[in-house]
Structure 1
């Protein structure tokens, strides 16, 4: 089994389209004549892109407290692959009536490929009954919902906060409590002019990085790409405001243009101190900062995001992976049980946080004393969970649609043109919307 690092996989976006796949091709692929396994040894075929998930499921399945009274004795058959390859292979195997997994990890930017042509409905277990007891206490179901039914459980409530170098903020007289992005950009303009240091970054590399960065700010501002019904809502005042904000930040030097948040250019900016702050999700602590600048342990802190003066939230989100259960297989019930125990119990959510830093998706756990008291030594011993708790209470909803990848493909170029000064923000959005509407008819 190849060891695929999370850092490298976070940079992988996009993937093959569904091509010739149709609803009729998938209509019977979810059915099986295999008798359901009701107890005993269950060898679960697990497909995922991240070694952390393998460790979490294997550890959880052996935990006596987590698995008490389970009818199953779990074993694992693991396949690791890149996120886009997992979905491509999954659909191809299903159409060919091949050997699909029992439990599959779906990267958030790959799930839209299963939202059209009733693919999710034909392949995955509808989790409506599984999640019903949790009501509104279960977070981040929306991105993995198709036609009103949830098909995946999110691994971690990726919450975007502001990471900042406390020592550099003190050195350059940047207030840690700046209330708005507008105020923050003004400090960034000054620090850039005087010291060639930026207080944030904007991705200008591949479409995925560009569009994800834009979406992260747009969600915070209260906008989005799609609503709950899958209708495009990008043509909005919020979208224009956010893109203008990004362009203004890059031009003033307050925001540093980098190919992506994980590569060598970003690492160099972090090491040199040229990048003194950045808005990124909680997983960036390990995947971005600790991976690139472990020697800066103790210098970084987090806080909730500055607000946009025009409204919105003090938090945002980017990234994620949900797990879905394949329907009508012999191990379907066994896979559903282990997923439910590891992903919908207090013990399982704490296991995920301890193992990979995945924030809880159950609201009550943001008040859990065991988590609130956790200190992050990389963040100078900060009790970071109190910041996550405040942010989680004001986290925007994120909806997807089957045409999400088409939008990303056509929007990345125009947004980049605006960031590079080759066009205006208004013209960039107009060009992206026009290209999208030419390809998607709703």
Structure 2
């Protein structure tokens, strides 16, 4: 993966961003648009066309399809065909082929930031098979269904809990006598300000680049604090005391040097800050281990550790989340039933979830697996620690993220004013109110 494509992947893997499609583009589409007209395959040979942005899913589904095919009494003999490209491009292609009446995939992985596109104009309802019946046996055990639900119906299954934790350079923290178990963000901010004054180092970062990156960093902390963008009904709840508190916290952190301002949280300036030891802690999801640290500072193997997030003194969670990919099955196609079975066995069984972790490092989305002894004993080679000692309590206390089809409108309204606050030009309370008002004015 090139530096440019990695940065695109990381941005798209974040919890926000992605364009919206005008409503009604699929108004004329019915079963025929998804390949209807051919007899459904109920058993035997079946070819599934799967679209995804991440080779990890190719490996996972290839292996699972082989296992199901080879199993005694297996219902289907799977042949897998994959199309690998940027998630947003794949969704655009799916919508256009759906409108044309042919060429849609059997399954597609949609990055969480892009999913609002299929919430718009009834697109997801027209194209995707509802999954509520499929998940009924494990419904109470399943994590992260809210971001992929449309009007209360589930249309995609999350691939990774994307738990946000605190990454920190253990060697630098020990050298500077920073306790690894500091309990609150407020305490860590005080320690970080003193450290920056003494050494020029920082214990976190904010982005000052594009709107998506700026707001991603904010959203992680906002969710942790107990706030959010939307409630369960899709109503805007941004204008809240928690949002003001978190944004003020970030702005003060930049001013004190506790947080370093970087134009791109994944690009060259970030890599430089990691390599030269200026950035020695950061809040990021579990996937940052591979795509952020191992990809950019492999020589720092064994120096980084993870822990649960410090809590805000005012309350909230010990973890957050950013990013994710939901897999959906296209309905009314010959391979729909076979695709649903593959998805079920890969995402809704302990064996499938363990396979996903082994193949792609995807954290389980079944709560019960966070007590599995195989996982609990897993030691990450780069971090040099048993990561589920951190992920298990994080999964039990992670916030819920609710989506809305107008999410991108909110990001555009919030990014600019937020940047001004981070630069010390505008009070946090004013930024939050302006963003909420602009969102509503622009159709939110």
Give the TM-score normalised by the residue count of structure 1.
Answer: 0.96
Residue 391 of structure 2: which of 379, 388, 391 is its match?
388
Q: Establish whether residue 192 from structure 1 lines up as the match of residue 196 from structure 2.
A: yes
Q: Establish whether residue 423 from structure 1 lines up as the match of residue 407 from structure 2.
A: no
Indicate how the Cα distance of structure 1 residues 95 and 23 shifts in structure 2: closer, same or farther if over 3 A, else same. Answer: closer
Indicate how the Cα distance of structure 1 residues 31 and 98 shifts in structure 2: closer, same or farther if over 3 A, else same. Answer: closer
Indicate how the Cα distance of structure 1 residues 204 and 67 shifts in structure 2: closer, same or farther if over 3 A, else same. Answer: farther
Q: Which runs of 5+ in 1 are unaligned?
A: none
**Contact map agreement 1:411 1:429 (CA 8 A) in 2:** yes
For 1:317-351, what per-residue CA distance to the aligned partner results, in whole angstroms no more than 9, with x for missing partners?
Answer: 00000100000000000111111111111111111
Aligned to 1:410: 413
In the TM superposition, structure 1's runs of 4+ consecutive aligned residues that sit over 2 Å from their partners are: 2-8, 11-17, 19-31, 63-70
- 1:115 is paired with a residue whose SS is helix
Distance apart, 1:19 and its partner CA: 2.7
Aligned to 2:248: 244
Aligned to 1:11: 11
Distance apart, 1:20 and its partner CA: 5.8
**Contact map agreement 2:205 2:260 (CA 8 A) in 1:** yes
1:202-221 mapped onto 2 (5 Å cutoff): 202-221=206-225
- 1:11 is paired with a residue whose SS is helix
Q: Which moved more, 1:167-176 or 1:311-320?
A: 167-176
**Contact map agreement 2:222 2:242 (CA 8 A) in 1:** yes
**Contact map agreement 2:23 2:120 (CA 8 A) in 1:** no
Distance across 1 between alignment mates of 2:71 and 2:50: 18
Distance across 1 between alignment mates of 2:49 and 2:331: 13
**Contact map agreement 2:48 2:81 (CA 8 A) in 1:** yes
Distance across 1 between alignment mates of 2:70 and 2:288: 28
Q: Which runs of 5+ in 2 are unaligned?
A: none
1:154-233 mapped onto 2 (5 Å cutoff): 154-233=158-237
Q: Establish whether residue 397 from structure 1 lines up as the match of residue 369 from structure 2.
A: no
Residue 290 of structure 1: which of 281, 294, 305 is its match?
294
Aligned to 1:74: 78
Distance across 2 between alignment mates of 1:68 and 1:140: 33
Q: Which moved more, 1:340-349 or 1:140-149?
A: 340-349
**Contact map agreement 2:230 2:403 (CA 8 A) in 1:** yes
Distance apart, 1:174 and its partner CA: 1.1
Aligned to 1:24: 27
Q: Establish whether residue 144 from structure 1 lines up as the match of residue 148 from structure 2.
A: yes
Residue 96 of structure 1: which of 84, 100, 110 is its match?
100
- 1:117 is paired with a residue whose SS is helix
Distance across 2 between alignment mates of 1:411 and 1:26: 35
Distance across 1 between alignment mates of 2:197 and 2:4: 40
Q: Which moved more, 1:59-68 or 1:239-248?
A: 59-68
For 1:279-315, what per-residue CA distance to the aligned partner results, in whole angstroms no more than 9, with x for missing partners?
Answer: 1000000010111111111111110000000110000
**Contact map agreement 1:14 1:84 (CA 8 A) in 2:** no
Distance across 1 between alignment mates of 2:28 and 2:312: 47
1:42-81 mapped onto 2 (5 Å cutoff): 42-63=46-67, 69-81=73-85
Give the TM-score normalised by the residue count of structure 2.
Answer: 0.95
Distance across 1 between alignment mates of 2:311 and 2:69: 42
**Contact map agreement 1:67 1:341 (CA 8 A) in 2:** no
Distance across 1 between alignment mates of 2:70 and 2:134: 17
For 1:117-176, what per-residue CA distance to the aligned partner results, in whole angstroms no more than 9, with x for missing partners?
Answer: 221111101000001111221000110000100000111111000010110001111110
Distance apart, 1:61 and its partner CA: 1.2
Distance across 1 between alignment mates of 2:3 and 2:127: 27
Q: CA RMSD in A?
A: 1.9
**Contact map agreement 1:127 1:149 (CA 8 A) in 2:** yes
Q: Establish whether residue 128 from structure 1 lines up as the match of residue 132 from structure 2.
A: yes
Indicate how the Cα distance of structure 1 residues 65 and 303 shifts in structure 2: closer, same or farther if over 3 A, else same. Answer: farther
Distance apart, 1:101 and its partner CA: 0.3
Distance apart, 1:78 and its partner CA: 1.4
Distance apart, 1:208 and its partner CA: 1.1
Aligned to 1:87: 91
Residue 348 of structure 2: which of 333, 344, 347 is its match?
344
Q: Which moved more, 1:324-333 or 1:19-28?
A: 19-28
